[in-house]
Every structure is written in C-alpha cells, then in structure tokens.
Structure 1
Amino acid sequence: MDGTVPDEEIAEEPGTPSSEEETELLLRLAERLTEVERRLGDSHRRAAHRETVIDRLHEENQEFRVGLRRSILDPVVADLFRLYDGLRKEAVRLADDPYGRILESFADETELILDRCGVEVFLPEPGEPFAPARHHPTTTVPTTDAALHNTVESVLAAGFVERDGGRVRRPARARFWQHVPPTPPAEGVPVESE
C-alpha cells in the first residue's frame, strides 16, 4: 500500500455541516441580513422624520422668540423714537447754548440704544426722490424747477428702519418740492419791458 486512503473511506469530520445544512444556514443568514437592512432603513426614515420635526420646531421657536421680542420691545422702541425726536429738536433749538450740545449727546446715546434694539436711524438727503415706504410728506413747497418735483426739500424728522429685513418702522417726515409751472402772461395784457 502506498499510504493513501480511498475516497470512500474518508468520513466527514464530526461537526462539519453538510451542503444542505450549509445552504439552509446561508438562507437563514440572508433572511437575517434582509431583516437588518429593513430595520436599518426604518431607523433611517424615523431619524430623517425626527430631523424634520426638530428643524420645524427650531424654526417655530425662532419665530416665537422674534415675536416675543417684538411685542416686548415695540412699545419701548416707539418711546425711543419720540425721545430721539424731542432731543434732536431741542438740540437744534439750543444750538448756540451749551445745553444744546448736551441734548445732542443724549440724542446720540438714544440712537445707540435704538441700534442695540436692531433699529437704524435714516435721514433723507435734500433732492432725494420721494419713496412712499420711506418718506412721509408733511407739506409741499412750490418750485418752477421741474427737475425738483417730488424730491426732498428739507427733513423735519428722521425715519427708522429695522436692520434685519429692512422694514421701515417709521418713515422720515419731510417737505417735498412740488413743480408749479410758471403762469403765462394773460392775453391782451402788455408785458413790461425793462
């Protein structure tokens, strides 16, 4: 004998699964993997839904905070507008008086407080065209210059605008030029010559 054992005599080692058992084991493993994938997919969908809910709640919370802030600060900011106007008006009236400079500094401080509240002061420039959202005309001043029509003649009170969003809280009060064409001389009336 050559020392080799014929194939028929080779027995399977104990504990080694047969091919049928291996197939069944692989099928069970595939079923388990499928179940894991399904559960993982469900978990991802629930996590995505949770993220959506969290994002929506965060947005609602931010809107609530802005609304709460606005409802608390709005009356104070409105009072600061009046205080600012009064201080500026008196500072101009007392321009040559030392108290005028003190009032001017108080008006500057009020402007800084408004800035911390998210509100900026704006003053239209003379000659700036009328913008309904930013200007409130108090009176008109007649002019024969058509180029000045509907432009700022002078500013009476500053305007206030929110820094975030640009919402005008109070339009600036101003006088505006209004074009009035010159009246032609009446017919039959002699024109005086120089």
Structure 2
Amino acid sequence: MSDAAPQTRKSTMRWLPLIIVAALGVLLFAGVMLSRNPNREALPSPLIGKPAPAFRLPVLHEPGRLVTSQELLGAPYLLNVWGSWCPACRDEHPVLTRFAESKRLRVIGFNWKDEHADALRWLEQFGNPYFMVLTDYDGKVAINWGIYGAPETFLVDGKGVIRWKYVGPMTDAVIQNELLPKLAEVEKAR
C-alpha cells in the first residue's frame, strides 16, 4: 500500500509542468483577445478638456520650417501619431487616408521617434493623407501630450483644446461612432 502512494505522487508531478504551461497559455490567449476587442474603452487622458501642450516642431517635408501649436489655432484638427516602424500604423493608414480625403477636418501627422528618410519613404510608399507632418525625432514633445505608443489620435478644437483621444489604430467604426459625433459637438460649440 505504501508503494502505490509514491507512484501516484510521481505520476502527478510529471503532469504538473504541463498543467502550468497550459494555464499560462490560456491566460496569454485571453489577454491577447481582450487587447484586440474593438469595443474596449479608450484609455482616459487627463488632457481631455484642457489646452493642448504647446510645441514647436519641424515639418517633415520642410525640415528648416518650424510650426508652433499657435499656428494651428482657428480650426479643429486631428493629430495622428505615427511612425514608419509601427505595424499598426500601416493598418490604420488606408482608413485615415479615406477620412482625410473627405476634407472634413485637417489631419496633422505627428511623426514620432522616426528617422527622417524612413518617414519620407513610408509616406511615398503608402501615400500622404496629411495636411502637414510634424516631426518629434527625440520624443520630447510627445511626453507632454501623454503619448506612449503609436498610433494615437487626438481631436483638437479651434481654440487648441483637446476634445478626444483614441489609442490604437483608427477604424471606420471608430471614425463613425466616436470621432464624427465628437467632431459634431466641437463644430456646434463654435
């Protein structure tokens, strides 16, 4: 009888690593599926309803020209954070291009932590939907905006106040269900 107990314990111990790996796999799978959920809530931003952080950044296609946040006042704009190194930005790009073609709103590119030549090549390859592309080579301006990844998108009203933020690739559904209603509010408040 005492020989059976150690045998059962050895058999159970043999399966333990497999059980642990399977449990970790289930948790990893659940995390990935939750992160892909298009209905997830956008991450809150403490900047919503507050003036957009001031900046002075070079223009990608005119490196000697600096644009300030003050120069963008007067009409709402969509600030889209992207980089040539960002796979999700490639997924978002056709959606953003279609939206920019509507000319409903100025779409400003915010090229983040990218190499100048890589950013130009990327836009040449996939098209340039932007009214203007600002560059934040070292990422210092992005810190003030609370940017921690790409893509991220901000709706800024004509007075320079951030009205909406979306983290992740924009989709047609996000534009229809979130951005356009928020834009309508901004336009109505003028």
How does the TM-score come out when normalised to structure 1?
0.30
Q: Which has the higher contact order (CA 8 A, sep 6+)?
A: 2
More helix by share: 1
Q: Which one has a bigger Cα radius of gyration?
A: 1
How does the TM-score come out when normalised to structure 2?
0.30
